[in-house]
Structure 1
Amino acid sequence: MRERGLVVPMRRLEIPASNEIDDMKNTAMILTEILRILSSLNSVLMLFVASMDITSKETALGTFLLLLLCLPYLSVAAIYHPSEQLSINCGSTSSVMYDGRNWTTDLNFLRENHNQSVAALPTAVSPKEGPYTHARLSRTQFTYSFLVNPGPKFLRLFFYSTAYPNFERSQACFSVKAGPYTLLQYFNVSLNADVDPASSGILFREYSINLKDGWLNVTFIPNTTAQNPDSYAFINGIEVVSMPSYLYYTNSNVDNADYPKLVGGESYQIENNLALETKYRLRLGDRDIPAAEDTGMLRKWDVHNEYITNPGVESFDVDNTTKLNFNKTPDYTAPDPVYRSLASMGGNASVNMGFNLTWQLPVDPGFTYMLRLHFCQLNPKVIGSGYQIFLIYIQDNLVEERADIFSWSGKLKGVPVVRDYAVIISAPDHQKKANLSVKLHPHRESLIKDAQLNAIELFKISDTEGNLAGPNPDPRIQATEIFHENSIKKRRSTTRTLAAVAGAVSGVILLSFIIVFFIIKRKKNVAFNNGSNKKDETSHGGGSSSLPTNLCRHFTIAEIAEATNNFDELFIVGVGGFGNVYKGYIDDGSTPVAIKRLKPGSRQGLNEFMNEIEMLSQLRHLHLVSLIGYCYESNEMILVYDFMDRGTLSDHLYGSNNPPLSWKQRLQICIGAARGLHYLHTGAKQMIIHRDVKSTNILLDEKWVAKVSDFGLSRIGPTGSSMTHVSTQVKGSVGYLDPEYYKRQRLTEKSDVYSYGVVLLEVLCGRQPLLRMVEKRQVSLVDWAKHRYEKGFLGEIVDPALKGQIAPHCLRKFGEVALSCLLEDGAQRPSMNDVVGVLEFVLQRHLQDGANVIAVLESGGDYEDSTTEDMFSSSHSSVHVSDYSNSSGLNSTSYPSKESDRLFSEPVFSEIKDPKGR
């Protein structure tokens, strides 16, 4: 019997009789607890003795020796024995056994004495033991010092976000430094804890630090600001555990072929002067592996279920009998159960070839990460090389084109192997999180069309300044609490004020105050109306035209400030020409909204502000962003919209680390945006021309529904049968402007069609309309696409993430409609209704052909399918139709063509109806 690092010779144990089942259960429970304690006996003994005073050490030592003498049949068989293991119970004056180790008092490690030690206030979910019952807190800086051997160490920090006497939970905001490394900065503990309600306020952070000398100093620094003058730092538990020299750091003495592979590069060395933060340690089994069951370093292995994107894939345990052979990696790399469980794609080969086994891991952008993948081949059907081969993609980059675990293992079963990769995650503006993706796909030459993985470890690597700190998460929950607290304070304040007034003044004076109040209120309303050029005839009265308040809500500046935590920068989710866009919460924090605030000096001003209010107040459609209200007060111009969870379309095409959209998703988004524009052109009382159609003005909600936004530049179209255009000053965005409108200053709805055609090319090619740092002929996306289409090479410029997803006839038809939108003569361009019809047809054909096109990779992987290679190769003079797809049934129209009407006269969906407003 093997249990948590201990070997128990079962032949010496007396087995109870069958009628003593209850006694047997009790005995088993006691034995399990003894085994758990003894698994870290050496380090526990050292710490226990160190914690005693001199007169008590002999007694302590005798106690442990007696315990060993009483258990002669148990022997320690730990895989790795740390030279240091310090588990510190911060704020406590006594030691406690918890989770397989002895947590000792922190008094011998503190430098300063001006901090406080307090017990956590009890709650319904308070931890009953371990390092979470007490805390060390201070409103000034304090430091722990540990004298240990040089070399790599795990440094673990344990936090319990709860109420402590004289310390408000929300005011815990601080930085943590360890030697030259910044581990945490402006760390708001309650904000981080509230992201995961299941955590019950418990937070854990693990770091790897390579010490040059024997001192490890960990400093806690409160981030006191004018907004939070009472901020404090606290810690519940600290753990320092030594690790093998090259567990995660790179051994410079080995061949660089064994270094981690840099995704998109050659290799990457995890040097000793770098610090690491453990972001994920996931085993692909059905239960967590607790710290006490690790190989001696007290690492915890979590299950992966939260991060795998394939809902039908299950993890399972395999072969618990074969002895693992650690001849490719040290036996302390991971515990045995890690390699005896895995996730695979299942037994249906045809289904497996149509999707990827995918994990998405949220990370902080702006850092390099080390990704470790664990493998062990125990499949009885794999009896040789080539039986199971698969491809590995990281961030949609092919890093292993023939992953063969059996070959990696020296053609032996049960040999654990690891593969390390370095991944650079760029940092787009104001993006707090990005996804790091891991995708596996069966190789077409594999005898078993399957892929498998046993475990994932991911570490953030410190930057050049030794920083590991990331941003605090979206402060929604914190904001909600602030709103409720403010509401309570306001109600209490109001009650006290009214009571004082009622008891202090007479009815006549009170009536006078009321009269004065209404006079002041009236003056403010007059000022508002004058400031808005008398366009706002609300319930206050006074204007010549009106803002329909029955459809548009008016917010006070106080409500907006409350919704954004006084315009806290943490709430900023975007920046545009208008100004900052904040994510806020209204109605006591129950409703998320997007709040667009005009910045001083913006190129947009009062006219655009009033124009958007008037336009959107009268429009309601599934594919138009909804305006909730506005604020025009104290020189502030603010618009409040429904919040779009997935941001802009451009965020998912380029310039971010978001996973690439599939071809199906892109078509659905294009159709939605086209429907919104069609409604503007034909569905409202008067034609509305948007004038600023671009990918950043197409927003996506949580269900990926596209919504056209930003109507500040919109204009009413031609009114009356005699008018064909509107003569107006040219406005819009460079790269999207209709050349006919630009040259003649004549605006029609076909100007929107042109801009939308540019968006279609963005969607197809995954690049911006203008790129300055490329060769001259590729600077303009429109010119480049026209040139490649005319030469028959449109497939050459398709987004590489779409390779293998588009049937050739769908590509051809999509290219035709996009380039027809971009015709020089606006009259020759299709209407948005025609565009919707053709895109619907392309989507229908894509769905029909999906089962027949071999390389249907939902997330955009490429696995060398020769039937689709032609379509994207520059070595062919035309776009070829795959043998695996049917003819489209549509006549091709070359670009440019005077017969563009023929393209749109063909039948599409008979059931298509104009989208209705909601």
Structure 2
Amino acid sequence: MKNMKPPLLLFIFISVSLEALWVSVTGDNVGAYRPIDDIAVDCGSNSSSPVGGRNWIGDAADRSDYSPIEKTHSSTAAEASSSSPSISGAVPYLTARLSRSEFAYTFHVTAGPKFVRLHFFPLDYLNFSRVDSFFSVEAAGYTLLRNFSASLFSDKTSSPSFHKEFCLSVGEDQILSITFTPTPGNSDAYAFVNGIEVVSMPDSLYYNTAVDSTEGIKLAGQQAPYTLDTTKALEAVRRLNVGGKFVGPVDDTGMYRTWEADDEYVTSSDIGVLPVNTSIQLNYGEQVPNYTAPDLVYITARSMGTNKTINLSYNLTWSVEVDTNFYYLVRLHFCEFQIEINEPLDRVFRIFIDSQLVEDHADVVSWSGKGVPVYRDFAVALLDHSQKKRTNLSVALGALPDGSTLYSDAILNGLEIFKINNPDGNLAGLNPDRDPVPNKLPGPPPASKAPSSLSKAVKIAIVAGGTSGFTILSLLAFFLYRRRNRAKDSTSSDGTSRWGPLSHATTKSTETQGSSRPWDLCRHFSLKEIRAATNNFDKGFIIGVGGFGNVYKGYVHGEANPVAIKRLNQGSHQGLHEFRTEIEMLSQLRHLHLVSLVGFCEDAGEMILVYDYMARGTLSDHLYNTDNPPLPWKQRLEICIGAAWGLHYLHSGAKHTIIHRDVKTTNILLNEKWVAKVSDFGLSKVGPTSESKTHVSTAVKGTFGYLDPEYYRRQRLTDKSDVYSFGVVLFEVLCARPAACREPYGSEKISLTAWAQSYCKSGSIDKIVDPHLKGAIAPECLNKFCEIAMSCLQDEGTKRPCMNDVVWGLEFALQLQVSSEQGLVDHVVASMHDGEGDPSDDDTAPIGGNLMDHSDEVFSTNNSGGGKSLGAAATTTSSDGVYDESTTSYDSDKLLSGAVFSEILNPNGR
């Protein structure tokens, strides 16, 4: 201590002072509850470790009170490998207790409800393989885990170490026993645990939880209340500090609970985090004692914002993945701390659990008063008789629609979700599916070491001979390869290979063409590599099935990023043509909004395409017939804009127009960041190659509901055929209905375009909008979006806009939406009429105006595919809030590849 220099002492003093100040402001209730039973067992350890103000006791220490009880005495204590990934929290994850036989821990505790936390760190321990841990856990007559795989759970959640938390009650004179049993019938299966906590909780913390009723808690969708008494066991699914940061066990109220930040679970990007209020004095009462949740939960929150119009257009929503076929307890924590909210009726809102209204008049000040924490509990049954293992549980808050409150807003401070045991005492869900993992290809056998007694001369001779032999064999292979390639090239009647580049104008010799073939522009995988990546085409790796064949998720050559592997059904001649077309097209195209072809395989009669993996699936997966949460309107607009850019590049970014011919929502893929990418080029055609031609005569191909009627009638394909199909996509996005849909209350399938157009013509646009978007779309944006869609669906191709104009129109619709939310839309509309847009547009027309009156002139079009340039003027907001002219938010030069392909007009791309 005496060696410390003054600056270091000053730093320590300031740090301690600031920490004490923070605790005095926000942590008054830290340690508010002192549990009678506070047990922490460090399994596999032979010593005790003080961590976070409590003592973790090793179960392998001499005369330990918590040594496991076992019949065979075959359990093993093991240490985590020093080369393992970083260990979260260290103790208790440094050691483990493992056994291929049953073992148990017993705890002499007082009667009452307890927290039981089981800590796991799945690794390879000694002769126990990480992937072989399958076991069940029972305690107090409840099945907590069944055939549980810690490695599968860890991989699914990307959590190297984790804990499972349960709540159960122990009766008078009852010993709490926790039993671990390896799954029978599997000789390699074993059970393990790294740490165990048993902590008392207040009797009424979660049980008998009705704050204002002695009969039970509200059960969503039912009149009868739900009784949650001590005969039930709970598993903590999520505990969220809404609007705040992570709160660890040490900062809890004495029960060592963990509170996550809620950022990953909020489904809308339009939410607002309220500033932390460290000055408010929280007042706890009898109904909500100060140990209910940390102060840090009640002084942070999320609200909907201050714009009443926007707030009435969406719900503030959280979504959490849970096991199916269980009841759940959902606890919502509230505390009004904003200066503006002081009286009852200042802020009143509605609460929805699993899309069911459970509270139509939530008034926090009326419930408890300002600065007084309060919570509300609800129960919900998530019963699904299908084979689904998991589903999404949503919690949503919505502003009152009738304006009967001073602030049309909602607030939430904390959220807890618990799974409730089934009548048979089971709390265990099913293991997640195993994700495809990189399969390492068998490497070459290790080279035998030369005997150390070889002389230096012999070694030199061996090296020289080997080098010479290798050189001769390489030259021989090269000449054979050259001869075979020339023979192949000469088989084409016009002297060119059908696998050559799309444009032959700049290359004439067959040798030059051969160097640019598609197999030279993307990777050629061997069938052995593909089999390794898909575990020999294991059905468990299938992520999609289509007319082409199965699509697998896999990893190639140990790469960290997965790929999508599409396997052609063998014997399909049509598939063969589409297979080669896909390679010809995608191997020479690179764009942000086109799916990337990684490579292909053509071995042993197989035809396989390998793409970048798109984690979010298809656009249609998020519109209808899905359990995915509905997409917000702005996100839908951004996806449409991305797909439009991809089609625009196909039509205008290459030397010759490429017509996709199968534009639909299932061929628009979404990556992890929701970036839209056009896919599936098996039906694509190169457009007219000379200015004298306006179309390509070809047999009709495509998908019912998306086909251009003019192309169908005349068999003349143009880029405007893609525009028509994209118009169908736009209405799918707006209405959340498939291209061939049933009219409400009708039984026959009808065309979505005919159905949507009839409502647009009659001035009833609002009747076709996806119910999830009701009130969420600015009127000006809706009008513009429908005008674009209607214009794309013109019967005559020459009257449809080019994709450049569609991009521009969608970008402008997005600007109208953003500006409306900011209350500045009048400036945008005015600038449009001042010359930045089409003066014939009437953006101020009310929703439901007759869109067909002037849809022919919505965009300036011509047959050559021209229109507004990529830098077409659009209105944007400057930093001072004034609207001025700028180019569109997408710069096409940045979207083009700077690769060597001759088709790309601008080589200075990304």
Partner of 2:347 in structure 1? Answer: 388
Contact 1:428–1:656 under 8 Å retained in 2: no
| Amino acid in the other structure paired with 1:662 | P
Of 753, 764, 773 in structure 1, the residue corresponding to residue 734 of structure 2 is: 764
Partner Cα distance (1:300, 1:890) in 2 = 48
Q: Tell me by how many angstroms 1:79 deviates.
A: 6.6
Of 771, 775, 783 in structure 2, the residue corresponding to residue 804 of structure 1 is: 775
Q: Tell me by how many angstroms 1:325 deviates.
A: 0.7
Partner Cα distance (2:820, 2:371) in 1 = 40
Partner of 1:695 in structure 2? Answer: 665
Partner Cα distance (1:788, 1:676) in 2 = 29
Partner of 1:903 in structure 2? Answer: 858
Partner Cα distance (1:246, 1:672) in 2 = 53
| Amino acid in the other structure paired with 1:674 | A
Aligned length in residues: 796
Contact 1:735–1:770 under 8 Å retained in 2: yes
663-672 or 215-224, which deviates more: 215-224
333-342 or 430-439, which deviates more: 430-439
Partner of 1:67 in structure 2? Answer: none
Q: Tell me by how many angstroms 1:561 deviates.
A: 4.5
- Are 2:257 and 1:299 equivalent residues in the alignment? yes
CA deviation string 1:813-846 (max 9, x = no partner): 3223323433455555444344334334433433
Q: Tell me by how many angstroms 1:382 deviates.
A: 4.4
Q: Residues 542 and 588 from structure 1, CA distance in 2 versus in 1: closer, same or farther, beyond 3 angstroms? A: same
Partner Cα distance (1:182, 1:774) in 2 = 45
Of 518, 539, 548 in structure 2, the residue corresponding to residue 548 of structure 1 is: 518
795-804 or 500-509, which deviates more: 500-509
| Amino acid in the other structure paired with 1:159 | F
- After superposition, residues 168-247 of structure 1 pair within 5 angstroms as 168=129, 170-178=130-138, 181=143, 183=145, 185=147, 187-189=149-151, 192=154, 201-208=160-167, 218-221=179-182, 232-240=190-198, 247=205
CA deviation string 1:4-39 (max 9, x = no partner): xxxxxxxxxxxxxxxxx99xx99x99xx9xxxxxx9
- After superposition, residues 591-670 of structure 1 pair within 5 angstroms as 591-599=561-569, 605-670=575-640
- Are 2:865 and 1:887 equivalent residues in the alignment? no
| Amino acid in the other structure paired with 1:374 | H
Partner Cα distance (2:285, 2:567) in 1 = 62
Contact 2:331–2:375 under 8 Å retained in 1: no
- Are 2:238 and 1:280 equivalent residues in the alignment? yes
- After superposition, residues 152-551 of structure 1 pair within 5 angstroms as 154-162=115-123, 164-168=125-129, 170-178=130-138, 181=143, 183=145, 185=147, 187-189=149-151, 192=154, 201-208=160-167, 218-221=179-182, 232-240=190-198, 247-248=205-206, 258-262=216-220, 269=226, 276-284=234-242, 290-291=248-249, 297-304=255-262, 307=265, 313=273, 316-318=276-278, 321=281, 323-327=283-287, 329=288, 331=289, 334-335=292-293, 337=295, 340-345=298-303, 360-364=318-322, 366=324, 369-377=328-336, 382-392=341-351, 400-409=359-368, 414=372, 416-420=374-378, 422=380, 424=382, 436=394, 438-439=396-397, 444-447=403-406, 451-460=410-419, 466=426, 468-469=428-429, 472=432, 479=438, 490=443, 493-496=445-448, 511=469, 547-551=517-521
Q: Residues 811 and 291 from structure 1, CA distance in 2 versus in 1: closer, same or farther, beyond 3 angstroms? A: closer
579-588 or 885-894, which deviates more: 885-894
| Amino acid in the other structure paired with 1:799 | D
Partner Cα distance (2:817, 2:783) in 1 = 12
Partner Cα distance (2:135, 2:427) in 1 = 11
CA deviation string 1:749-785 (max 9, x = no partner): 4432332222111111122223469523675423321
Partner Cα distance (1:840, 1:794) in 2 = 20
| Amino acid in the other structure paired with 1:156 | R
Partner of 1:705 in structure 2? Answer: 675
CA deviation string 1:466-486 (max 9, x = no partner): 56435558859x64xx65xx6
Q: Tell me by how many angstroms 1:406 deviates.
A: 1.7
Partner of 1:109 in structure 2? Answer: 69
Partner Cα distance (1:143, 1:202) in 2 = 22
Q: Tell me by how many angstroms 1:694 deviates.
A: 0.9
Partner of 2:836 in structure 1? Answer: none
- After superposition, residues 16-27 of structure 1 pair within 5 angstroms as none
CA RMSD of aligned residues (A): 5.5
Partner Cα distance (2:586, 2:387) in 1 = 28
CA deviation string 1:700-753 (max 9, x = no partner): 334443221111122334556776655555433333334455566554444323
Contact 1:285–1:317 under 8 Å retained in 2: no
Partner Cα distance (2:307, 2:763) in 1 = 35
Partner of 1:138 in structure 2? Answer: 99
Contact 2:779–2:846 under 8 Å retained in 1: no
Q: Residues 743 and 545 from structure 1, CA distance in 2 versus in 1: closer, same or farther, beyond 3 angstroms? A: farther
Instruction: Name the SS for the 1:605 alignment partner.
Output: helix
Partner Cα distance (2:363, 2:500) in 1 = 72
Partner of 1:673 in structure 2? Answer: 643
**TM-score normalised to the size of structure 2?**
0.71
Partner Cα distance (2:218, 2:570) in 1 = 49
Q: Residues 437 and 578 from structure 1, CA distance in 2 versus in 1: closer, same or farther, beyond 3 angstroms? A: farther
Partner Cα distance (1:461, 1:603) in 2 = 54
749-758 or 777-786, which deviates more: 777-786
Q: Tell me by how many angstroms 1:172 deviates.
A: 5.0
CA deviation string 1:504-523 (max 9, x = no partner): 99959995999699889989
CA deviation string 1:796-826 (max 9, x = no partner): 1101222223233432332233234334555
Contact 1:186–1:223 under 8 Å retained in 2: no
610-619 or 804-813, which deviates more: 804-813
Q: Residues 819 and 149 from structure 1, CA distance in 2 versus in 1: closer, same or farther, beyond 3 angstroms? A: farther
Contact 1:391–1:442 under 8 Å retained in 2: yes
CA deviation string 1:373-428 (max 9, x = no partner): 1123456764431123344455677654532112223x586252324253759899
Q: Tell me by how many angstroms 1:458 deviates.
A: 1.8
Partner Cα distance (2:518, 2:669) in 1 = 25
| Amino acid in the other structure paired with 2:412 | L
Q: Residues 778 and 587 from structure 1, CA distance in 2 versus in 1: closer, same or farther, beyond 3 angstroms? A: same
Partner of 2:43 in structure 1? Answer: 90
Partner of 1:14 in structure 2? Answer: none
| Amino acid in the other structure paired with 2:752 | L
Q: Tell me by how many angstroms 1:569 deviates.
A: 6.3
Contact 2:152–2:433 under 8 Å retained in 1: no
**TM-score normalised to the size of structure 1?**
0.70
| Amino acid in the other structure paired with 2:239 | R
- After superposition, residues 27-38 of structure 1 pair within 5 angstroms as none
Partner Cα distance (1:615, 1:743) in 2 = 27
Partner Cα distance (1:397, 1:171) in 2 = 40
Contiguous gaps of at least 5 residues in structure 1 = 1-20, 33-38, 41-76, 855-884
Partner of 1:577 in structure 2? Answer: 547
Partner of 2:62 in structure 1? Answer: none
More helix per residue: 1
